[in-house]
Amino acid sequence: MYSDKTVPGSNGSSNRTNGTSSAVHNQDNHTNGASSTSSSSSSSSSSTSSSSSNNHTSSVHTMELTPQPDNYSCIKSCPHISSVLESKAKDTVFETYRQAVLISQPTANKIYRSKKDHAMIPLAKILGSKIGALKCNECHLNNFENSMICLQCPHVGCCFNNSNHSYSHYKSTKHQFSIDSGSGLLYCYKCNDFINHPDLERIRMKVVDHEYSNASGVEDAYYSDPSTLATRGLKGFVNLGATCFMSSILQTLIHNPIIKYHFFNNDLHYFNCERGHNQYVNNGFIDENNACITCSMDNIFQSFFTSDSLDGFALSNFLATSWHKKKSLAGFQEQDAHEFFQFLLNELHIDHSRIMTALGDTELFHLPQTCSCISHSVYGFQLKSSIECGSCRYVSNTMEHVNDLSLELNNGSGGLYDCLDQFTKEEKLEHYTCTKCSSVKSTTKTLKIQTVPAVLTLHLKRFKHDLNSTKIESKIEIPMFLNISNYCAEQETQQGEGAGERGGRVKEIYELFGVVVHEGSISTGHYTVYIKNSGQWYKCDDSVVSLVSQDEVLNSNAYLLFYIL
């Protein structure tokens, strides 16, 4: 197959080595070098492409499909893939590889029926779904026989052309393994060659044998439309008993593109966390010594974006981890979603600090403005508090590091901009002693945003805890796009906690992508969340996910708002 192609490496021109090439080709048809070589793979590539679903159980063909000699097993392994398959990533790698091999299999004409209602589905629709699933993420090239599927994240990149976005992905993320969508062969960028492994070969042959065994005498192939599968992250969480406050916050992280990129493109924690490794060798058993929030969240991301199951995700692993981390979460009592959000960000920072300390970095993560953890690099920003003396006009400035803003609701009237106006307006301070002139004259205090975060989280203070706890039910006007320029410090702002030197004002217009809603009373309420996915809004109510209109989102009784630059 590969004699007339180039390796998807850096130069885009080197051919496959003769040893590997001869291993792939059908020896009976092999002639000098191979441009005219016939192989089992190349005949596969020129065949009609198969469904991207892994759910077919039977099939009927209107034309005979004869298996060709398969010599892929002669391709050798490499130390890089062997190392990965000895780690806790093994099971995820096996499942990703199985699905990629499945999508590479050729088909003739089949009769497909929907798993949902058994209705016939045109082959053209299935091919269209496959083209969409294997489109290059960067240039959107539709040649699904020349795409490389990353083994370590959901990225699909083109290859064998001038752009070679699969190789660019490897250079930027260090994800060294990709799967050829036309053959199911694994490519190692460090070795600059196609590789194999006995465990992977067994998976590939099982898929191939299943495809050919279905080629005769069976009636239908069942199919699930990939556009509806959970690989877009559209699935819910099973409520394990008053866990809606957890699931609503987790959905906002899962559908935050920056957080998703971090979990799929940063293997620092994954390969260096001893706690996660201890869980793996102990068959998933969690105790106080191996509980790790980041590892538990990584399991959630893997399930949401690499599994084709639409079933709700059970939070048992994450719940047990949270209980070990914060005893007050133990039990089945409703908790505050905002407090859980703060707990989650704090734990992500602690996990990051633990890994950095183990790797010998003991300085940068101690300061919020230089910490590279998710909490500080994505959500963290600085608030500037300015106190002006009413006598000498001396201004004292202090900085506070925060992950969100808690806004008063103005007695339930107005909109979000009114809440921000109140938060940043001048406040009179009585009996304040000036640090410069020692005057006790009345002074003023103002709060401004000093650095802008990548994700701005706004907490609307709906709950009042006085002698009698009450909830403010009034709705406020929520903008889809939020301009915070008027609420930033007058001097030029920086973006994020760890931004470099100031060099001009940054964009300060945010777009809404998540809304957590509290329904019901303060004592017997329920949390739901609206999230934006691929330009559409969805409501997640525990395990139920439904498509909704933008108007419904903007008219919701919001409790937490998530805006992204």
Active site residues: 244, 526
| Number of C-beta neighbours around residue 442 at 10 A | 13
| Number of C-beta neighbours around residue 370 at 10 A | 13
- What residues contact 86, with CB distance under 8 A and at least 6 apart? none
- What residues contact 297, with CB distance under 8 A and at least 6 apart? 250, 253, 263, 318, 348
Residue type at 361 in one-letter notation: D
| Cα distance between residue 216 and residue 205, in whole Å | 18
Two structure tokens written together for 147: 């795409």
What does 232-243 look like in DSSP terms, one character per residue? Answer: GS---EE-SSS-
User: Would you say 391 and 434 are in contact if contact means Cβ atoms under 8 Å apart?
Assistant: yes
What is the DSSP pairing of strand 405-407 with strand 451-452? unpaired
At residue 71, what are phi and psi to the nearest 5 degrees? -115, 20
Two structure tokens written together for 47: 């065949």
| Integer angstrom CA distances of residue 299 from 79, 95, 305, 307, 317 | 26, 14, 10, 11, 9
Two structure tokens written together for 173: 């993320």
User: Would you say 484 and 452 are in contact if contact means Cβ atoms under 8 Å apart?
Assistant: yes
Q: Which residues of 200-230 are buried (b: 16+ CB within 10 A; e: fewer)?
A: bbebbeebbeebeebbeeeebbbbbbbeebb
